[in-house]
Amino acid sequence: MVGSFEGKAARLQRIESGQEQYGPGDRKEQATRFYLDEMLDEIVERAAQRSNRRPRTPVRLLISLAGFSPITTVLVYRLLKPQRMLVVTSLNAQSSIDVIGEQVIGAGRLRHQDFRHAPVVPTDPLGIYRVVRTELEELEKRDEERPYAVIDITGGRKVMSAAAALAAWQLGLDLCYIDSDYDPARLRPVPGSDRLLLLDNPTALFGEQSMSAALEMFANGAFESARQRYDELCEIVAEPGRARFMRALSELYRAWCDLDLTALPQGVRAVEKALHHVRHDVSAQTARRLERQLTFLHLLAEGDHDSLLVCFFVLGEHYRDVGRHDFAALLYYRAIEGCLAGRLERLAAGFSCGRPDYTVLTADPEGLRARYVDIQRSLGRKDADGTLPPVIGLMSAAVLLAALDDDMLRSAQLSGPKALSHLNSLATTRNKSVLAHGSATVGAKESQTLGAKARAVLRGYWSTLGTGDDVAALCEELKFVRTDR
């Protein structure tokens, strides 16, 4: 059984204890030589099978910390097969360089010009950083692009590993490490128990900085960009629960902003599931607010008319907050128009603003026509042609309600010629917008004024429903959350 791996491991122990010799040198040198000559190939095969994952792209540069033992550096080289290698050692551990060079340079391996080594002071993190940065810059100049590099922090002193991890954090590099079972009797790893752990850059591994960047996108309303970033974080952070929750919420808010009603049910389910897993990490206030939003979005997805009107206003507020005033104006307009049309249709069962039959709305359509035309002309509207409108839009709905002397206009602050004239000017502002029928841009002041009018009209309409619900409180609850807590 001498040729088996177990037999070789037993022989390694005898060499280490001095019971058997393997060429010149002390026991440690003989054991290292035997390990590399007789055991390395099988150890590499076993480690490859046990390792967590492969590099995302071919490794252009491997930076390996080497201590008194060259074994882990050689093992990492064999597993990653880099195109270039930099070995970093402390000043008193350079004896390993020759052994490493013998193992990594040669036919089918590295050329001499692709293998470099540099001594550093272990307690000087800036020294290690400078060595690594210089090597990266040289390769970047040569290749005209930033090389994919990995820092192996297995060997060397602990303070060197800490400094190398800091360098990786600063330079955006990935880390790797050889993990092994430890033999306390022989004070070394158990041969054949090795595996390569490939770790993403430390900032990505724990994700705090990347999570903060994604949260900033989210808070600024860039929900699709935030979703994409959270999607990446879900694959690399050690604890992906928060990232998964924010990914689901970003996608839901994206669908909501886009009025993608077909995507809302799936988005709601995804947030419900993700929220369940991070409930302990979300404030009770945020959780309650999200639950209220999910209930509302269920109704919206089912086609509830009044929920859609609230949605128009809430989205208008969101777009105004992020400075997209033309979108805000469009949504405020839709909210006002929907409330006025909705009130008309509630006055008489079967009445439709799309195809109005005025005999359904009133027993005196001629009297309604006369009052309607008078109000239209008092507003100076060019479409005052002496007839009732064949299709009812925002201003025609407001004028019809005024002609009917409907109570909603008073609660919506639209009662009287002055209020209707103001509404007419706001409608004109929206109609001249680049998103409507013109080429003008809606400014912050105009969108704020339209928003105030939409709020008043929505409250007036809501008061006619008789539900007793506070629509202002509902709109406040429906504002997008800006934090992941």
Question: Is residue 67 within 8 Å of residue 96, measured between CB atoms?
Answer: yes
The predicted pLDDT at position 406 comes to 95
- Indicate the CATH number for domain 5-205: 3.40.50.10770
- Any bridge partners for residue 199, and if so which? 175
The predicted pLDDT at position 1 comes to 44
**Residue type present at position 293:** Q
The predicted pLDDT at position 173 comes to 86
The predicted pLDDT at position 53 comes to 73
Angstrom distance (rounded) from CA 28 to CA 12: 10
Q: Name the maximum alpha-carbon separation found in the chain.
A: 118
- Any bridge partners for residue 120, and if so which? 90
DSSP 8-24: HHHHHHHHHHTSS--SS
Rounded to 5°, angle at Cα 112 from 106 and 117:
120
In the chain, what is the straight-line distance between the N-terminal and C-terminal CA atoms, in Å? Answer: 61
Structure tokens of 79? 């597993």
Q: Which one-letter DSSP state was computed for residue 391?
A: S
The predicted pLDDT at position 478 comes to 96
Counting Cα atoms < 13 Å in the Cβ hemisphere of 96 gives: 26
Question: Is residue 219 within 8 Å of residue 482, measured between CB atoms?
Answer: yes
The predicted pLDDT at position 204 comes to 55
Using the structure block, give the residue that is written with the tokens 């105004």: 320
Q: Residue 133: which residues within 8 A CB-CB, separation 6 or more? A: 167, 171
Rounded to 5°, angle at Cα 148 from 146 and 153:
125
The predicted pLDDT at position 339 comes to 97
The predicted pLDDT at position 296 comes to 97
Averaged over successive runs of 10 residues, the pLDDT of the chain (485 residues) comes to 82 93 92 94 93 82 90 95 93 83 95 94 84 90 88 84 81 86 84 86 60 87 92 77 92 96 95 88 89 96 95 97 94 97 95 96 95 91 79 96 95 94 92 89 95 97 90 95 75
Question: Is residue 414 within 8 Å of residue 457, measured between CB atoms?
Answer: yes
Structure tokens of 460? 């007036």
Angstrom distance (rounded) from CA 24 to CA 21: 8
Question: Is residue 389 within 8 Å of residue 396, measured between CB atoms?
Answer: yes
Question: Is residue 332 within 8 Å of residue 453, measured between CB atoms?
Answer: yes
Angstrom distance (rounded) from CA 462 to CA 480: 22
Structure tokens of 263? 């995507």
Q: How large is the angle between the packed helices 27-34 and 5-17, nearest 10 degrees?
A: 170
